[in-house]
Structure 1
Amino acid sequence: MFRNREIQLLLLTLCCISLVASGIAAAALSTEAALIVFLTSVLLISCSLLFTAWRYREIERLSRYLKKISSGDYSLDVRDNDEGELSILKNDIYKVTLMLSEHSSHLQQDKVALTDAISDISHQLKTPLTSMMVMADLLSDPKLDESKRGEFTRNIRVQLERIEWLVSSLLKLSKIDAGTIRFKKEKVVVPNMIQKAVAPLVIPMDIKQQSLKITGDENVSFLGDLNWTVEALINILKNCVEHTDDGGIISISMSENTLFTEITIEDNGKGIPKEDLPYIFKRFYKGKNAREGSVGIGLAMAYSIITSQNGDIEVTSKKGKGTRFHIKFYKQVI
């Protein structure tokens, strides 16, 4: 403590004051009075030094605590319930410690999630890349039949398109997760949005001879981003088309009230097994009825887009009877 310059100056000042006061008392009163003043000064200086030493010990303890925090040890607790600036400082340090601990935990979770994502992506890319490498080797054979050559070329093109779609979808999902995409808050007329979402699926539905029924008020709307919401609906409708048999029916209804705008998409297809329902919006999850070549990313993207716009999506399904998606866009954050 005495190595600190401010303590040295304080002690020197107090001693000078004590000596001066004792001298004045001796000159003005008596030797006994000067002795009393001197002893009283010594007691006051001692109490001051003891209190200062206590405060410095507390500050030193906080300093050691901060060093342990910097080394990654967040287990210590220096809280107390006393009053005063030192106690307030202790509690503030504890709050910062909790924030740092939570931040460290979130970073660790992000690292694990990133590792899992990279593993999933590499797994998804491994199969088409291996297939293309094999077909590329076969194409290098000059004796290969022309019909086989054309077949392998088409297969390579299909695999490349699949990889392109996967990379594009993952990039979009990553931007949504990172919060770098700013969704617009514009009036979206639901019937117009549904028409845009259905357009890319008209040919697949015609091939399977499926019929589409759209019902609801033509004036239904909500505040959101038209293009991104169309992409979410395309992924949901695509799922319905793929899991509905030839000649099936896909229904879309829309309604609006004071709390939310609701869109319901329903099919009479195979349905989703009960054990798969809690996981269908999980990235890369493929249920028992997933088609061959499915990546398991379309519904995950739809979920991220909808929930990022103050929306919610739920699904109900009965095996062999069909699936129903309930989408709600809330008018206010509750």
Structure 2
Amino acid sequence: MWRNKEIQAYLIILILIVAAGCGVAFIFLSTSAAALVFFTSVLLITSSFVFTSWRYREIGQLSDYLRRISNGDYTLDVRDNYEGELSILKSDIYKVTLMLSQQSSSLKQDKSMLTNAISDISHQLKTPLTSMTMMADLLSDSQLSESKRAEFTKNILNQLERIEWLVSSLLKLSKIDAGTVLFKKEDVPLHKLIDRAVQPVMIPMDIKEQTLSVEGDRTVSFSGDFQWTAEALINILKNCVEHTPVKGHISITFSENPLFTEIKIKDNGSGIPKEDLPYIFRRFYKGKNAGEDSVGIGLAMAYSIITSQQGDIEVRSKQGSGTEFHIKFYHHKGRGSSD
């Protein structure tokens, strides 16, 4: 403390004031008055420096506390139950400590999720790449028959399409996660949305001889993004087609009430085991009934798209009795079209 130039200047000023006071008292009053002024001043100066020394110790403890926080120790609690500026400062520092602790925990979680995602992506890409490498080596054999050559070429094209879909889906998900997707708020008629969503699954349904029924009032609509919501429904419908048997049935119903617009997509397929239900919207999760080519990303994307528009999606299923997806878009004041 005594090395502080401000303290030194403060002490010099106090000494000068005491000297001046004592001099005035000695000249104009008496020796006794000068002595009284001197001893009173000494007591005040001593009290001032005792209090200043205490504040320096408290500030020193806070500095040590901050150094330990900067080294990653967020378990300390510097708060006390006293009133005063230092107590308020301690309380504010503790609040910042809690915020830093939460941010550190969030960053560690994000880092772990990123590591797991990279591992999952590597695994998903490794299988088709290995398969294509093997088939490319076989295609280099001049003795290979034309039928096998055509088969291997078709398989390579299928694997390339799978990789393209995976990369495209991951890019879309990463944009949603990063918050860079600007979802539109426009009036979306449900019948047009569903017409758009069923188009990509009509051929797979025809191949499996599946039937589709759509029911709902053509005036029903909600405020959201047409293209992105169609993307979500397409992924849900693809999941239904995949898990519905040949000559199975898929139904889509939609309705509206004062609180929300609801879409129900139901199939009579194999259903989802009870233990898989809590995880089906988790990225790269593959349930027990998942197909060999399933990546586990379609439902995760649908979930991200719907919830990013303040919607809600839940699944109801019983193994062997089909699956039903319930999608809700809640009404907000000021519905309308905007970018």
The TM-score with structure 2 as length reference comes to: 0.96
SS of aligned partner of 1:32: helix
Q: Which residue of 2 aligns with 1:205?
A: 205
Counterparts of 2:286 and 2:74, CA distance in 1? 40
Question: Is residue 39 from structure 1 mapped to residue 17 from structure 2 by the alignment?
Answer: no
CA RMSD of superposed structures (Å):
1.2
CA-to-partner distance for each residue in 1:74-101, whole Å, 9 max, x for gaps?
Answer: 2221111222211111111111111111
Q: Which residue of 2 aligns with 1:301?
A: 301
- Residue 319 of structure 1 deviates from its aligned partner by 2.0
Q: Which residue of 2 aligns with 1:102?
A: 102
Counterparts of 1:39 and 1:228, CA distance in 2? 83
CA-to-partner distance for each residue in 1:95-135, whole Å, 9 max, x for gaps?
Answer: 11111111111111111101100111111111111111110
Q: Which residue of 2 aligns with 1:141?
A: 141
Uncovered stretches (5+) of structure 2, i.e. residues with no partner? 334-339
CA-to-partner distance for each residue in 1:205-261, whole Å, 9 max, x for gaps?
Answer: 122221111111111111111100000000101111111112221111111111111
CA-to-partner distance for each residue in 1:266-299, whole Å, 9 max, x for gaps?
Answer: 1111111122111111111111211121111111
Question: What amino acid sits opposite 1:287 in the alignment?
Answer: G
CA-to-partner distance for each residue in 1:133-154, whole Å, 9 max, x for gaps?
Answer: 1101101111111111111011
Counterparts of 1:162 and 1:38, CA distance in 2? 93
Q: Which residue of 2 aligns with 1:234?
A: 234
Counterparts of 1:104 and 1:30, CA distance in 2? 68
Counterparts of 2:206 and 2:76, CA distance in 1? 67
Question: Is residue 190 from structure 1 mapped to residue 190 from structure 2 by the alignment?
Answer: yes
Counterparts of 2:10 and 2:245, CA distance in 1? 91
Q: Which residue of 2 aligns with 1:112?
A: 112
SS of aligned partner of 2:152: helix
SS of aligned partner of 1:80: coil
- Residue 318 of structure 1 deviates from its aligned partner by 2.1
Q: Which residue of 1 aligns with 2:336?
A: none
Question: Is residue 277 from structure 1 mapped to residue 277 from structure 2 by the alignment?
Answer: yes
Summarize the alignment of residues 40-79 of structure 1 with structure 2, pairs less than 5 Å apart: 40-79=40-79
- Residue 332 of structure 1 deviates from its aligned partner by 3.7
Counterparts of 1:215 and 1:328, CA distance in 2? 16
Q: Which residue of 1 aligns with 2:326?
A: 326
Q: Which residue of 2 aligns with 1:225?
A: 225
Question: What amino acid sits opposite 1:29 in the alignment?
Answer: L
SS of aligned partner of 2:304: helix
Question: What amino acid sits opposite 1:320 in the alignment?
Answer: G
Counterparts of 1:81 and 1:226, CA distance in 2? 56
Counterparts of 1:193 and 1:205, CA distance in 2? 19
Counterparts of 2:172 and 2:194, CA distance in 1? 21
SS of aligned partner of 1:53: helix
Question: What amino acid sits opposite 1:97 in the alignment?
Answer: T
The TM-score with structure 1 as length reference comes to: 0.97
Counterparts of 1:71 and 1:319, CA distance in 2? 52
- Residue 73 of structure 1 deviates from its aligned partner by 1.6
Counterparts of 1:160 and 1:176, CA distance in 2? 24
Question: Is residue 129 from structure 1 mapped to residue 129 from structure 2 by the alignment?
Answer: yes
Counterparts of 1:68 and 1:129, CA distance in 2? 48
SS of aligned partner of 2:188: strand
- Residue 4 of structure 1 deviates from its aligned partner by 0.9
Q: Which residue of 1 aligns with 2:17?
A: 17
Moved more, 287-296 or 297-306: 287-296
Q: Which residue of 1 aligns with 2:337?
A: none
Question: What amino acid sits opposite 2:312 in the alignment?
Answer: D
SS of aligned partner of 2:250: strand
Counterparts of 2:237 and 2:51, CA distance in 1? 75
Counterparts of 1:193 and 1:164, CA distance in 2? 25
RCO higher in structure (CA 8 A, sep ≥6):
2
- Residue 321 of structure 1 deviates from its aligned partner by 2.0
Q: Which residue of 2 aligns with 1:290?
A: 290
- Residue 25 of structure 1 deviates from its aligned partner by 1.0
Moved more, 323-332 or 38-47: 323-332
Question: What amino acid sits opposite 1:173 in the alignment?
Answer: L
Question: What amino acid sits opposite 1:56 in the alignment?
Answer: Y
Q: Which residue of 1 aligns with 2:260?
A: 260
